Amino acid sequence: MKNLKPNFSHIYVEKDVVGYPLTDLALSKFSSSSIVMIDHYKDLFNRPGQDFQVQKLSMKLILAKKKEPYLYPASNIIQDYDTPNVFYNTPILNCIYNCDYCYLQGMYNSGNLVVFVNEDDMMDAIDREVSDPRDPSRPTVVSISYNTDLLAMENILPLSRRWINYIDGKRDTILEIRTKSALFGAIKDIEPSENVILSWTLSPEPICAKYESTAPPLKSRVNAIKSALDSGWQVRLCFDPIILIDDWFEIYSLFLKRLFQEINGSHLRDVTLGVFRMNKDYFNRIRKRETRSDIYFSDYAIENGIVVVDSEKRRSSMETLVNILTEFVPKDKILVWKK
């Protein structure tokens, strides 16, 4: 909106992070922004009375130091990865995009972004975990783009690049970078790494337009994926969340057919699939905040504290989509959340 300040018009800097390389980089990128010194990011990010959606119209950047824990066990909301050693970390809190179905709106009080500049501490934590894994026979997988879209920030702060450089060549460790961005070009010059999975979330164009309107359109994401595959990267496609709108079957089947005319399914590492689901507290909080998205006013079931499409609908829709997908991707490469 024209009457509002551009994103990152203000940078809030924790006193403790002055002098960190990432702090200096961020400040040099936004040299005309107002700088406000703060004691602790939570004084700003966690305060009550903020309006997540209003703040998303003019997001601010908060530079902070992450304190322990640096690594979290993955929740049961994400797919199984065939290893118990699955974790996520949070180099950034919040996302530059604002998808309707995103749980971050219910998780955080603020629409602003926090970047933790002490990435070395987070990397050390991974090294420690890998040296003593839960199951030594399986690799350790860390999702570094869990509460954000890391690659979407690459032109602002080259964090994905730094994480790829860190992980490359390490044994039994895999980083997943999940994204909706089209910014593969920003890391294209890096040699593809065996330790990295680039995961793109894709939805049919009508879903993108209605529920992911701030993320790049489908076409740009597909081009980025093609480019990553051509360069030799391991790519995962995430059809997640599947939004079961009225004519979902027609929309998704057409979408998958067209998509796999452009992308060779056998070149993919795997694909994941899951219906819309969300922690009940986040869901209720988003509803209370007068969200404008109709997603939050449909009927759902609640299973173990998770708001989810009811099991019958979920089972049949997943089965249907898996059937379509198997035309293009080997079945053992299709991971489904709670079949």
Partner 1 sequence: MQCIITALKAESDPFIQYLGLKRDKAFNFPYFINNDIGIALIGVGVGRKNIRARIHKFFRSFDDTVIQFINIGVAGGKKNQTRIGQLFLINKIIDDSTNQTYYPDILIDHPLIENSITTVQRGVYDGGGQYDSLVDMEASEIFSVCSKIVPIHNIAIIKLVSDHMETHESEFDHDMISSLLMGKMDKITYFIDKYKLLGRINGPILSKTDMDWITHNKEQYLLTVTQVNQLMNTVKSYRLHNSSISLPEINAKRPMTKVDQKNIFRAIREKLET
Give residues in contact with partner 1 (CB under 8 A).
1-6, 9-10, 12, 34, 36-39, 43-44, 47-51, 53-55, 57-58, 287, 290, 292-294, 296-298
Q: Among residues 18 and 36, whose Cβ is nearest to partner 1?
A: 36
Task: Classify 296 as helix, strand or coil.
Answer: helix
Q: How far is the CB of 160 from ligand SF4 (least distance, A)?
A: 14
According to DSSP, the residues that pair with 201 across neighbouring strands are 238
Q: Among residues 95 and 309, whose Cβ is nearest to ligand SF4?
A: 95
Task: Classify 248 as helix, strand or coil.
Answer: helix
220 binds, among partner 1, ligand SF4, none (CB under 5 to 8 A by kind): none
CA angle 281, 284, 86 (to 5 degrees): 40
Q: Contact with ligand SF4 (CB under 6 A): which of 61, 63, 115, 215?
A: 215
Distances (CA, A) of 211 to 87, 101, 245, 276: 27, 7, 11, 12
* Helix (H) / strand (E) containing 34: strand 34-38
Q: Among residues 13 and 278, whose Cβ is nearest to ligand SF4?
A: 278
Residue 336: closest CA among 75, 72, 81, 73 = 81
Total binding residues for ligand SF4 by CB under 6 A? Answer: 10
Q: Among residues 110 and 148, whose Cβ is nearest to ligand SF4?
A: 148
Q: Among residues 255 and 276, whose Cβ is nearest to partner 1?
A: 276
Q: Contact with ligand SF4 (CB under 6 A): which of 62, 95, 222, 275?
A: 95
Alpha-carbon span 120 to 245, nearest angstrom:
43
Torsion angle in degrees (nearest 10) through CA of 209, 210, 211, 216: 10
331 binds, among partner 1, ligand SF4, none (CB under 5 to 8 A by kind): none
Q: Which of residues 4-23 bind ligand SF4 (CB under 6 A)?
A: none
Task: Classify 31 as helix, strand or coil.
Answer: coil
Q: How far is the CB of 127 from ligand SF4 (least distance, A)?
A: 26
Burial class (CB in 10 A: 0-12, 13-18, 19+), 303: middle
Q: Among residues 39 and 127, whose Cβ is nearest to partner 1?
A: 39
Residues that bind ligand SF4 (CB under 6 A): 95, 97-99, 102, 104, 148-149, 180, 215
